[in-house]
Structure 1
Amino acid sequence: MTGEKADDVVTAAFLVIGDEILSGRTKDKNIGFVADYLTSLGIDLREVRVVPDDRTEIADAVNALRARYTYVFTSGGIGPTHDDITAESIAAAFGVPLNLDPRAVALLETHYAPGQFTPARQRMARIPEGADLIENKVSKAPGFRIGNVHVMAGVPAIMQAMMDAIAPTLATGRIMLSETVAADMPESRIADRLSAIQDAHPETLIGSYPSASEGKFTTQIVIRSRNEAALKAAAADVAEAVADILG
């Protein structure tokens, strides 16, 4: 589907690829962005995985996730160096050849000065057979889409530009709405009431998020639902419970 509203919930997984993420050398900045971005479109991010630069682990993760969710998005490992092995790993996952793609070659030959499209840079033009390109307005080296898997760069600015490029092509579901009720108390004081409210409003998801400052505990209670009426009713019950407990 292309930019359509889906009747059912649309789900996604995000696969972060790279030894540098697992070692802590690079701090991931993409997970939070993707979660916010997909939520705003009406796509539920259900799972995030981080895997090393290992062909088998990347391919196995891609195959597991693409069978489980509507979409899979990946970041990392499509650059010019020897350890950028995402493209070949995705090709292996789908059982297709990995070749220099004439479309990608043309983009990069135009981008680089004569003689600068080196063999290393040509690696960024290797695309699995049958894949579509994902536009990269930042540095021109494209990502690609094959099946329900979208393969993007790890550099946040480039990955974000690629998300903007593919957003119009994605099927979306009803957007998840939310309301927050502040409770000036530890979550333990309201836990039983929240459990009862959750049971009474099965179309909602209620989460409590405690914080502490100078020895004082407070709680943010977040109510989420795709049904606005159900959301309002549950939020009203939560607010009433907070008021009751605080006296």
Structure 2
Amino acid sequence: MNSPLSDNVSPVPDIGLIIVGDEILSGKRADKHLSKTIELLGERGLTLSWARYVGDDRRQITAALRDAFAQPGIVFSCGGIGATPDDHTRQCAAAALERSLVLHPQARELILERMRDVAAEQNLPYEPERADNVHRLNMGVFPEGADIVPNPYNKIPGFDCTGSGGGRVFFLPGFPVMAWPMMAWALDTHCHTWFHRQTWVERSVIVFGAMEASLTPLMERIEAEHAGVKVFSLPSVDHPEYGRHIELGVKGEEGATQPAFDALKQGLSAFGAPMGPEMVR
């Protein structure tokens, strides 16, 4: 049984996303999970630290999950938890954790309940012993010690596990209509005391007529002198309004970004770089 993720004093963790599926890498389907995850986190005052795409390859999935379990933080893994031959995520989670796969008793009851619902909807007899229904129970076979993640769409649950390194991974289906409310539930149930603990702000300015390489020493100095602030540089060569330019800025806690941004603009003025509009996000 996993313990609660958050408390009133623990620091806000890194949050990662793993997206599984050959169909994403081949282009048969466009990924929608990345943008939605950023949206769901942003609504709660959280940010995404990293994202990783892997195909339906057991070696690659296991390696990605082993990394996720090995470091503190929380991760959402979308895709590959079904029971068809191209679904490998449940097996890879067990391998990464070095645990056995077992039929979760609550997942079993939820899957049986779904079978009853489908039989009633189709005016058919409820036959849990039928071969295809027995096979459906495999969707409730999770690594030993897993907790379930409820699925409001069709009751077939996901699951979550915590590794020895402190990483907790929530395993969700690949279907957005299921995965997104399940992700929201996991955040609201297990991560709520982290909500809006940080006020993350980006401050930037449009810089004309400068090269990134010439601005690098200034960027390095700002990061060195302002702890907890990151400097970013987004060059553009064909912007419809600004043409060739660099959007140069800082991001971090609101209280730390203003002095860093002021120092950045002072450095740009000393450099003689023409500056345009300023932006705050």
TM-score (norm 1): 0.83
Equivalent AA in structure 1 for residue 194 of structure 2: T
Give 1:50 shift.
2.1
Find 1:221's aligned residue among 242, 248, 272. 248
Find 1:172's aligned residue among 194, 207, 210. 194
Equivalent AA in structure 2 for residue 113 of structure 1: V
Partner of 1:113: 118
Equivalent AA in structure 2 for residue 200 of structure 1: E
How many Å separate the matches in 1 of 2:12 and 2:243? 39
Contact residue 35 and residue 45 of structure 1 kept, 8 A: yes
* Structure 1 residues 71 and 186: alpha-carbon distance in aligned structure 2, compared to 1, 3 A threshold: farther
Contact residue 208 and residue 273 of structure 2 kept, 8 A: no
1:139 and 2:166 matched: no
Partner of 2:143: 128
Give 1:131 shift.
0.7
1:209 and 2:230 matched: no
How many Å separate the matches in 2 of 1:144 and 1:220? 41
User: What's the Cα RMSD here?
Assistant: 2.9
Give 1:3 shift.
3.8
Equivalent AA in structure 1 for residue 81 of structure 2: I
* Structure 1 residues 4 and 40: alpha-carbon distance in aligned structure 2, compared to 1, 3 A threshold: farther
* Structure 1 residues 39 and 89: alpha-carbon distance in aligned structure 2, compared to 1, 3 A threshold: same
Partner of 1:16: 19
Name structure 1 gaps, 5 residues minimum: none
1:157 and 2:177 matched: yes
Partner of 1:27: 30
Map 1:1-80 → 2, pairs under 5 A: 1-38=4-41, 41=44, 45-80=48-83
How many Å separate the matches in 2 of 1:210 and 1:96? 47
Deviations 1:161-194 (A, max 9, x none): 1111111313738425113323152552772544
Equivalent AA in structure 1 for residue 171 of structure 2: V
Q: SS in structure 1 opposite 2:136?
A: helix
Give 1:67 shift.
0.7
Which deviates further from its counterpart, 133-142 or 107-116?
A: 107-116
Deviations 1:16-59 (A, max 9, x none): 22222222222221123324444665656443222222333322
Partner of 1:233: 259
How many Å separate the matches in 2 of 1:80 and 1:187? 55
How many Å separate the matches in 1 of 2:11 and 2:248? 27
Equivalent AA in structure 1 for residue 103 of structure 2: L
How many Å separate the matches in 1 of 2:52 and 2:235? 26
Name structure 2 gaps, 5 residues minimum: 120-125, 163-167, 276-281
Q: SS in structure 2 opposite 1:245?
A: coil
Q: Which has the larger radius of gyration?
A: 2
Equivalent AA in structure 2 for residue 224 of structure 1: K
Give 1:195 shift.
3.9
How many Å separate the matches in 1 of 2:206 and 2:60? 44
